[in-house]
Amino acid sequence: MMKAVEVRGTQASPEVTLNPAVPKPSPKKAEILVKVHAAAVTRDELTWEELWRRPLRIPGHDISGEIAALGPDYQGDLRVGDEVYSMIHAFRGLGQAEYVIVESSEVARKPRLLNHAQASAMPIPLLTAWEAIFERAQVQKGWKVLVTGANGAVGVILVQMASRLAGAEVVAVSSPQHHETLKQLGASQVVDYNTPNWEDTIKDVDVVIDTVGDPILTKTWKTVKSHGHIITVGPPPAAWEYGKGRPDELDEFPNVKWLFFIVVPKSEILEKAAQLIDNGTIKPIAIELFSPDKASQAHKSASIRNRKGKVVIEFVPEKN
């Protein structure tokens, strides 16, 4: 048996608790069993439909730990005892537990320079930023990229990747207490989203990457070039979701390309990102630690908007 964070109640009123007696999983076929040292909390994951469709409602998609066992059909290069980090696919989750099953496409050796708590905060932000910048928008050197929610977990990685890897000019939108840090991470310009009509002061943006949704997302349409690109990974307006409709803003900006996507795990990107962290190109995300018995408080803290960094539940405390 193992300890695991469990969500009870209803989707409208979820209750987070610690279950001390959940069956420990065993890897089948090519699965990988990870002993979880730390699991990050994603702000809105208690609202995800996938969580409420599972018979065992254990949240958690970002983890770091060590390989405890390999399924009989596993053919990869990972070995028992290897230290790894992982993004578990949205429809599976179950990461906020002492042990979890992952697939080979979801896991890579963790950055050597980070401890498990730091590493657990990185997979979703790294993968989201990489997909948005290099696969979706295909940002080119010299482009102007506007990042909303730039102080958040995904935002700070977007700022670093866009400026340091893609060579873009980055405009970071956040509250003012984060501006100096964002400049150090590579932002060329910082904007306070509390400033009235801030969107009227920014022009000729090639790509907007939004992490927060409306009302800020709506304002970004004024900043983008006529044939620019707006990508959101934040809570999308209904018209954006899964091609259900079209944004009203297209009436005024008909040539702007728009996209909402949900990130998927890619082990090869996690491998590349680990190297970028270890060589100092990408700096880690700030974290706030909670023990498993404080899981309810951890999820409440993670739900706070405009927070810095990520909340992490630590199952195996780091040795000093």
pLDDT, tens digit, 9 for 90 and up, residues 199-254: 999 999 999 999 999 999 999 999 999 999 999 998 777 677 666 678 889 999 99
Closest CA to 9 of 41, 43, 45, 57: 57
pLDDT at 43: 84
pLDDT at 197: 96
Exposure letters 144-167 (e unless 16+ CB within 10 A, then b): bbbbbbbbbbbbbbbbbbbbbbbe
Pairing, β 144-148 against β 107-109: unpaired
Q: What is the average pLDDT score of the chain?
A: 95
66-111 residue pLDDT tens:
999 999 999 999 999 999 999 999 889 999 999 999 999 999 999 9
35-63 residue pLDDT tens:
999 999 998 889 888 999 988 999 999 99
Residue 147: which pLDDT band, with cuts at 50, 70 and 90? very high
* Cα distance between residue 102 and residue 78, in whole Å: 12
Mean predicted confidence (pLDDT) in 165-177: 97
Tell me the CA end-to-end span of the chain in Å, nearest whole number: 28
Beta-strand runs (E) in 242-290: 257-260, 287-290
Is the pTM higher than 0.85?
yes
SS3 134: helix
Mean predicted confidence (pLDDT) in 284-300: 97
Closest CA to 258 of 232, 226, 219: 232
pLDDT at 285: 96
SS3 203: coil
pLDDT at 236: 74
pLDDT at 235: 79
Mean predicted confidence (pLDDT) in 159-166: 98
pLDDT-wise least confident of 7-11, 34-38, 312-316? 7-11
* Cα distance between residue 187 and residue 129, in whole Å: 15
pLDDT at 243: 63
Q: Which domains does the chain have, with CATH numbers?
A: 2-122+284-314 (3.90.180.10), 125-260 (3.40.50.720)
pLDDT at 238: 67
Whether 307 has a pLDDT exceeding 80, the answer reads no
